[in-house]
């Protein structure tokens, strides 16, 4: 490992896989403010798939996409036109706007990635097909009710260890696959400031199911999920322009998703795949965005740890509406922002259901 080069990988000349997994069942959602030159590196892995690009910031700016990619692009004007008054629930001047792409997609699966994330190398020097690994994670069961000390029991060369209950070995459906990053770690601003030169070169070849009852800080830069299982809960909140907080969008969605997947008996995995995160954001800018959240999270985390969803909440939408009521009741005491956020959570579900009408039950 001494000479391990984590990336970015050289994918020039790499062949596109002949039969891409879930080609017609998956959309790739990318939030951006710039030309998407980074897609050239991802071409061997992502070109067969449909892209949904959500343009943040100035809608008059032209975003250039490399030739050969199949995509649709939405800017703020499009969001306002499609959602009307409900567009207020979609953040502006913040990557949280990516969740609009989740809403307008008609596919079963979503992979979302940031435009400063490149293809990483594994320890053998081979470029990592992050999307392929996410798909494998999503198509494989999770084991949230009992921890397996060999981690992912369904991988080749592993299994359930002695003492693991046979009644739990079938696992449960996986709703979310949470990938990690080499090079620039996903640190908060205070950690960035005290460790400005720190880089992650540790490639850990592991996939874990996050146990039931355990929260985690979800990062949206390398993430995939089953839209049918958990899509309505993947709301990235109110962040950015006009809001008192930023950089908590993906974590808010992660906390909501975790309590809902726990309630509905679904799983979330973390670990592989890795991407190469190329650029560290400005820690002083990040601190301005995060500083209220750093204080608020000391109340937010206990709130989510103690959330109880009633048994009547049998769908993601019902769970999310109930969660919004509890946010309004308990977190509005922390700051009036949470009263506004709770209302936006309801608006999000209304907009989701409007664009994604429920199919009638088969008779």
Buried residues in 337-349 as b, exposed as e (16+ CB within 10 A): bbebbbbbbebbb
- Residue 16 above 90 pLDDT? no
Q: Residue 29: in which H helix or E strand, if any? A: strand 26-32
- Residue 358 above 90 pLDDT? no
Q: Pick from 146, 337, 323: which is nearest to 248 by CA?
A: 337
Confidence at 134, pLDDT banded by 50, 70, 90: very high
- Higher local confidence (pLDDT), 52 or 4: 52
Exposed / middle / buried, residue 312 (Cβ in 10 Å: 0-12, 13-18, 19+): exposed
Q: In 123-253, which ranges are E strands? A: 174-183, 207-209, 222-226
pLDDT of residue 154: 97
Q: How far apart are CA 327 and CA 304, in angstroms?
A: 9
217-226: per-residue pLDDT in tens? 999 999 999 9
pLDDT of residue 15: 63
Q: How far apart are CA 105 and CA 92, in angstroms?
A: 19
84-116: per-residue pLDDT in tens? 999 999 999 999 999 999 999 999 999 999 999
Q: Are the C-beta atoms of residues 327 and 284 closer than 8 Å to each other?
A: no
Confidence at 344, pLDDT banded by 50, 70, 90: very high
């Amino acid at each position: 490992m001494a000479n391990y080069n984590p990336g970015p990988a050289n994918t020039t000349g790499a062949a596109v896989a002949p039969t891409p997994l879930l080609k017609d069942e998956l959309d790739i959602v990318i939030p951006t403010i710039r030309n998407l030159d980074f897609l050239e590196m991802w071409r061997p892995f992502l070109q067969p798939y449909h892209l949904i690009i959500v343009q943040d910031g100035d809608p008059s700016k032209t975003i250039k996409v490399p030739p050969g990619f199949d995509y649709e692009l939405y800017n703020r004007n499009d969001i306002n036109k499609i959602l009307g008054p409900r567009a207020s629930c979609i953040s502006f001047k913040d990557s949280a706007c990516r969740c609009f792409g989740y809403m307008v997609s008609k596919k079963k699966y979503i992979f979302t990635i940031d435009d400063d994330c490149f293809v990483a190398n594994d320890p053998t020097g081979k470029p990592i097909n992050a999307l392929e690994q996410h798909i494998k994670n999503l198509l494989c069961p999770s084991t949230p009710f009992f921890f397996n000390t060999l981690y992912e029991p369904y991988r080749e060369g592993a299994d359930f260890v002695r003492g693991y209950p046979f009644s739990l070995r079938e696992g449960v459906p996986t709703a979310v696959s949470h990938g990690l990053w080499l090079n620039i770690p996903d640190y908060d601003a205070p950690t960035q400031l005290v460790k400005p030169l720190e880089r992650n070169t540790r490639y850990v070849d592991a996939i874990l199911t996050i146990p039931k009852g355990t929260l985690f800080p979800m990062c949206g830069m390398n993430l995939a999920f089953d839209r049918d299982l958990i899509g309505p809960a993947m709301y990235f909140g109110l962040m950015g322009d006009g809001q008192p907080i930023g950089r908590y969008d993906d974590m808010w969605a992660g906390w909501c998703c975790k309590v809902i997947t726990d309630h509905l008996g679904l799983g979330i995995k973390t670990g592989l795949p890795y991407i190469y995160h190329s650029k560290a954001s400005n820690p002083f800018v990040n601190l301005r965005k995060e500083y209220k959240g750093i204080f608020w999270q000391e109340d937010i985390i206990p709130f989510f740890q103690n959330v109880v969803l009633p048994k009547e909440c049998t769908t993601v939408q019902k769970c999310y509406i109930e969660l919004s009521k509890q946010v309004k009741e308990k977190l509005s005491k922390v700051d009036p922002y949470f009263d506004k956020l709770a209302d936006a959570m309801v608006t999000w579900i209304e907009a989701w259901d409007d664009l994604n009408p429920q199919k009638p039950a088969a008779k």
